[in-house]
Each structure stands twice: as structure tokens, then as C-alpha cells.
Amino acid sequence: MKTIAMLVGVVALMSSACVTTPGPNTPLTDVASPLANRFNTLADQVAFDHPCPPERVRVIRSEWHTVDADVCGVVRRYKSIGGVDATWVDVTTLYPASALPPPLPEQQPPEKPPAKS
């Protein structure tokens, strides 16, 4: 019985982790999850550290405490320090350039539908 309860707990934790991590090319301002506030503080920190508006900060890849982000066309790696109210720190310079992913392609504005005649 304890084994089943533990297995159910592990499955619940694993499935909730999938929901809270933003996917590639997601603007940090569009993250909608129980931990959205966590990624909004990252967008604010990136905007403070670099001259780039939060809506131009996009996720390249993310793990629980690490996010590689495209910051106005430049790749930056941030790590969180602390719990729920984490402080995000730019640790890009601690890694060789070969360890970082390439920047994302420029986003194109959405096309307007053709005018109806």
C-alpha cells in the first residue's frame, strides 16, 4: 500500500513539473502556470540587467532552476537562487559560448488577413 501511495506521489510531482516549465520560444510574459510569477520576476530581472523589454525575452530552454533565454537576439543563461521568491542571476559568463544554445530566429509580426471585398 505504501508503494502505491509513493508511486502516485511521484507521478503527480512529475506531471506537475511538466506544466510549470515554459516551452521553447515562449515569451516570458506569456507564461501561464502556477509558477508564472516566478518567470515574470525573471523577465523583470532580465529587463533590468539588459536594455531589452520583457516582451522580447523568449525562452530557449528551461529546467527547474536554469533558463536559457533569447534576450533581444542575445543568449543569456539565468539561474534562480532561493525558493518561491527566487532571485535570478545572470550566469552566462560562467559558461563557454559552446555550452550555450544559438539564439532564436527573429519573430515575424502576425500576417493580417486579406481584406474582404
Please give the grid coordinates belonging to residue 38: 516566478
Give the model's confidence band at 15: pLDDT under 50 very low, under 70 low, under 90 confident, else very high: very low
Residue 59 one-letter amino acid? V
Whether the predicted pLDDT of 70 surpasses 90: yes
* CB-based contacts of 102-109 (< 8 A; 24+ apart in sequence): 102/75, 103/60, 103/70, 103/73, 103/74, 103/75, 104/24, 104/25, 104/58, 104/60, 104/70, 106/73, 107/58
- pLDDT value at position 86? 77
The whole-angstrom separation of Cα 46 and Cα 43 is 5
- pLDDT value at position 23? 61
Q: Give per-residue pLDDT as tens, 20-57.
A: 556 665 666 555 555 556 677 888 889 889 998 888 88
- Total-model pTM: 0.63
Whether the predicted pLDDT of 117 surpasses 50: yes
Domain boundaries, the chain: 23-99
* Out of 61-65, 76-80, 101-105, least confident range: 61-65
- pLDDT value at position 25? 59
